[in-house]
């Protein structure tokens, strides 16, 4: 077999695997959209009905009548934005301290912080709930936001990026009279933009899709996020699947728009994360 033919076969199998992956990824989204346009009978019919006989656009009207979607959007946007900004600031500052500043007990504190990643997040739900109850913050947006302002994973991620920066830059800044905060703000942060992008992506997706904590800390429908609000559509004995899927479509479209607008930055951030190791 000639070199060109082997190369052609190689490219064929690469494209085959990539196309297969794309189909597997987008199929659930297509099925969700199609289900949102079906009647209840079509959504539960066996064998499954792929295309609805008549698109039921009224499902989108019904879900907005049953739930305060504008309020859900507001709560989710505020929750996601404040949590993401908080993690970008606090995790980058902590990551810089662990990577570039020497202080007593640094390694021990860093190891203790990393040990948090080994504990299931569900273990923190009860202590966090008790703290929020003690401070009388239940059924507020603050109760949603405060526990997520800091992340051990985010600190570790930013520390790895800061450690890749040559020490000569820091030494030159110190000779020019810069303190650590000036070095962090003016020199280090611009050099770790891919890391900040990767952390922002992780935090935005996790916050937007967060379900368990909003359900636990809030009981008022007016204080719920999109994921928690949509969970109320699932009944104990009966669920209107087309209406639920219509709600899911309304919940995910902002993330799709954000990705389409910033896909270049997203890809660069994720690629840089993989290369930094």
Q: Is residue 16 part of a domain?
A: no
Q: What is the pLDDT of residue 265?
A: 67
Average pLDDT, integer, range 33-50: 86
How would residue 273 be classed by pLDDT, with cut points 50, 70 and 90? low
Flag whether 237 is in a domain: no
**Does the residue 26 lie in any domain?**
no
**Count of the separate structural domains present in the chain:** 1
Per the domain annotation, does 119 fall within a domain? Answer: yes
Per-residue pLDDT tens over the stretch 64-110: 888 888 899 999 999 999 999 999 999 999 999 999 888 898 889 99
Query: What's the pTM?
Result: 0.83
75-89 burial, b if ≥16 CB within 10 A, otherwise e? bbeebbebbbebbbe
pLDDT value at position 201? Answer: 85
Taking a C-beta distance cutoff of 8 angstroms, is the pair 196, 205 a contact? Answer: no
**pLDDT > 80? residue 266:** no
| Average pLDDT of every residue of the chain | 86
- Two tokens, residue 52: 């609805």
Chain segment 232-262, per-residue pLDDT in tens = 877 655 778 888 899 889 888 888 888 777 7
The whole-number pLDDT of residue 257 equals: 84
Range(s) of the domain holding residue 78 = 68-232
Assigned domain for 31 exists? no
Q: What is the pLDDT of residue 274?
A: 47
pLDDT > 90 in the chain, percent: 20
CATH classification at residue 137? 1.10.3720.10
For residue 128, tell me if it sits in a domain: yes
**DSSP assigned state of 37:** T
Mean pLDDT, to the nearest integer, of 104-127? Answer: 88
Distance (Å) of CA 53 to CA 34, 35, 59, 192, 243: 11, 12, 15, 52, 17
Percentage of the chain lying above the pLDDT 70 cut: 93
Question: 277 pLDDT band (50/70/90 cuts)?
Answer: very low
In a domain? residue 263:
no
Residue range 179-235, pLDDT digits in tens: 888 889 888 998 888 888 888 888 998 899 888 898 889 888 888 898 888 888 776
Q: What is the pLDDT of residue 269?
A: 62
Residue tagged 């949603």 (tokens)? 144
- Is residue 49 included in any domain, yes or no? no
- Residue 115 near residue 121 (C-beta atoms within 8 A): no
Task: Look at residue 270 in the predicted model and tell me its pLDDT.
Answer: 61
Tell me the C-alpha distance between 241 and 249, whole Å.
Answer: 12
């Amino acid at each position: 077999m000639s070199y060109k033919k082997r190369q052609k076969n190689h490219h064929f199998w690469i494209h085959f695997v990539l196309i297969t992956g794309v189909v597997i990824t987008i199929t659930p989204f297509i099925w969700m959209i199609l289900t949102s346009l079906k009647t209840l009978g079509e959504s539960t019919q066996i064998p499954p009905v792929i295309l609805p006989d008549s698109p039921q656009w009224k499902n989108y009207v019904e879900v907005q009548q049953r739930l305060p979607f504008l309020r859900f959007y507001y709560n989710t946007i505020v929750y996601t934005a404040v949590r993401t900004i908080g993690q970008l600031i606090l995790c980058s500052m902590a990551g810089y301290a662990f990577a570039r500043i020497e202080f007593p007990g640094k390694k021990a504190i860093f190891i203790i912080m990393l040990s948090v990643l080994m504990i299931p997040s569900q273990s923190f739900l009860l202590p966090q709930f008790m703290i929020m109850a003690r401070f009388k913050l239940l059924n507020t947006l603050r109760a949603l936001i405060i526990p997520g302002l800091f992340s051990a994973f985010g600190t570790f991620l930013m520390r790895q990026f800061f450690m890749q920066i040559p020490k000569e830059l820091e030494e030159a800044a110190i000779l020019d009279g810069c303190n650590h905060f000036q070095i962090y703000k003016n020199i280090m942060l611009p050099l770790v933009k891919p890391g900040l992008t990767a952390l922002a992506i992780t935090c935005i997706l996790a916050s937007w899709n967060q379900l368990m904590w909003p359900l636990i800390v809030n009981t008022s429908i007016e204080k719920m996020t999109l994921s928690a609000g949509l969970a109320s559509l699932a009944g104990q004995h009966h669920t209107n699947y087309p209406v639920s899927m219509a709600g899911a479509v309304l919940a995910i479209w902002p993330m799709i728009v954000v990705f389409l607008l910033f896909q270049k930055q997203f890809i660069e951030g994720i690629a840089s994360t993989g290369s930094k190791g």
